[in-house]
């Protein structure tokens, strides 16, 4: 065993170090510098050729601990990020009363988000990468689709059912009309849009260009919505303010200009004057503003959608590395070790 190896072993023994530091006021290696206490350990090891590597290693270790700590705190910070796939039974963040499984670009999930925002319900939003659904996701919705709500340990799915559940579970403010017939009418409006308008919207989107037949079909169903507004003779489908049916229909109308960017389709203000006003009024609603999607991301997403494999994590914050710390770590490596490695 060499002197260096032996001194390393002794240096690790606290009793030995204590004695040595008390007895010697100078660094044992270079005999300069004062070593008074354990706190000066670094000075000693810095001066000692044998100790230099130890000091560097100790600093490396400190740095590694720091990196781990940062990674951990990043995870902690991400703990309630909407992109971390929390399970249905995972605890809710403080204040949240339910969990919503969503996807940034999903108009169906947006229905639920609009109702939650209108009712100011604090919730935990989890965006699901629909290309990589975990098995348990099918346990909470056997269709494997978003939105899904987990409330009081129970799962609710299908956007219209979710929205109606929220309307009843969180009664204030009421989004449905209190009149029973009016409520039925509202259902007729969004039912028509769901049954006819939405498929027409997606058919054109999938075509990816202005297919006149498909554009005509979409126009026809938008025309029906225009008729409904005319019969209602109110600015909104719900009446004088945005309500349940407005929020159930809105997500696709928000996307019509984006559909236009892909297919050149335009919702004519001449053919649909009431709807044109409705759209501009809806944009003024703070709830709509809170839930709006990023148009650029949507266009990218739907260009991919046409190819059949969209990126469902679009818009997600991707965790960043910590390059500056890794750089330091590299810089602290013992030059001798580095040399030996590079010679190999």
Ligand X SMILES: N[C@@H](CCC(=O)N[C@@H](CS)C(=O)NCC(=O)O)C(=O)O
Residue 46: CB minimum distance to ligand X, A: 59
Nearest to ligand X of 145, 285 (CB atom): 145
CB contact at 8 A, 123 and 98:
yes
Tokens in use for 19? Answer: 């004695």
Quote the least distance from Cβ 131 to ligand X, whole Å: 8
Which of 300, 284, 289, 249 has its CA nearest to residue 105? 300
Nearer to ligand X by C-beta: 155 or 234? 155
Kindly report the number of other CB atoms within 10 A of residue 91's CB atom.
10
d(CA 211, CA 108): 25
Cβ–Cβ < 8 Å for 41, 24: no
Instruction: Name which of 51 and 251 has its Cβ closer to ligand X.
Output: 251
d(CA 51, CA 57): 10
Q: What is the DSSP letter of 40?
A: G
| H helices present in the chain, as ranges | 3-12, 14-23, 41-47, 49-78, 107-118, 135-140, 159-169, 180-192, 198-207, 212-232, 244-263, 273-282, 286-291, 295-307, 323-331, 335-343
The nearest distance, CB 319 to ligand X, in angstroms, is 24
Whether 27 is a known active-site residue: answer: no
State which residue, 145 or 226, has the beta carbon closest to ligand X: 145
Residues of this chain that bind ligand X (CB under 6 A): 103, 106, 108, 130, 144-147, 158-160
DSSP state of 166: H
Catalytic entry in 47, 106, 162, 291: 106
- Cβ nearer to ligand X, comparing 106 with 314: 106
Three-state secondary structure string covering 252-321 = HHHHHHHHHHHHCCCCCCCCCHHHHHHHHHHCCCHHHHHHCCCHHHHHHHHHHHHHCCCCCCCCCCCCCC
User: What is the smallest separation between the CB atom of 309 and ligand X, expressed in angstroms?
Assistant: 10
Contact 237, 228 (CB under 8 A): yes
**What is the closest distance, in whole angstroms, from the C-beta atom of residue 101 to ligand X in the complex?**
9
Helix (H, G, I), strand (E, B) or coil at 220: helix
Minimum Å gap between C-beta 73 and ligand X is 33
Which CB, 151 or 219, lies closer to ligand X?
A: 151
**Integer Cα distance of 254 and 205 in angstroms:** 14
Rounded to whole angstroms, the Cα distance separating 313 from 38 reads 52
Q: Which residues are catalytic?
A: 106
């Amino acid at each position: 065993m060499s002197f260096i190896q032996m001194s390393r072993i002794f240096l690790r023994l606290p009793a030995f170090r204590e004695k040595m530091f008390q007895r010697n006021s100078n660094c044992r290696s270079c005999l300069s510098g004062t070593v008074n206490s354990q706190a000066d350990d670094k000075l000693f090891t810095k001066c000692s050729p044998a100790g230099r590597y130890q000091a560097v290693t100790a600093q490396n270790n400190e740095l590694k601990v720091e990196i781990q700590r940062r990674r951990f705190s990043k995870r902690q910070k991400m703990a309630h990020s909407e992109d971390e796939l929390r399970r249905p039974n995972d605890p809710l963040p403080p204040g949240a009363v339910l969990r919503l499984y969503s996807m940034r670009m999903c108009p169906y999930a947006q229905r639920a988000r609009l109702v939650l925002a209108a009712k100011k319900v604090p919730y935990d939003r989890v965006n699901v990468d629909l290309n990589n659904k975990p098995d348990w996701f099918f346990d909470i919705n056997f269709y494997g689709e978003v939105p899904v709500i987990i409330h009081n340990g129970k799962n609710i799915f299908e956007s219209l059912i979710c929205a109606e559940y929220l309307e009843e579970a969180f009664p204030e403010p009421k989004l449905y009309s209190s009149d029973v017939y009016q409520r039925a009418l509202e259902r007729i409006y969004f039912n028509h849009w769901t049954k006819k308008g939405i498929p027409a919207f997606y058919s054109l989107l999938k075509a990816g260009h202005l297919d006149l037949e498909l554009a005509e079909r979409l126009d026809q169903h938008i025309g029906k919505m225009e008729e409904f507004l005319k019969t209602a003779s109110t600015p909104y489908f719900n009446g004088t303010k945005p309500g349940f049916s407005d929020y159930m229909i809105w997500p696709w109308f928000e996307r019509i200009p984006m559909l236009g960017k892909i297919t050149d389709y335009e919702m004519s203000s001449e053919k649909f004057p009431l709807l044109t006003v409705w759209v501009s009024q809806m944009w003024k609603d703070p709830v709509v503003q809170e839930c709006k999607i990023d148009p650029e991301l949507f266009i990218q997403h739907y260009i991919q959608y046409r190819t059949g494999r969209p990126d469902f994590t679009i818009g997600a914050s991707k965790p960043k590395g910590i390059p500056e710390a890794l750089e330091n770590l590299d810089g602290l490596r013992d030059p001798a070790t580095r040399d030996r490695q590079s010679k190999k």
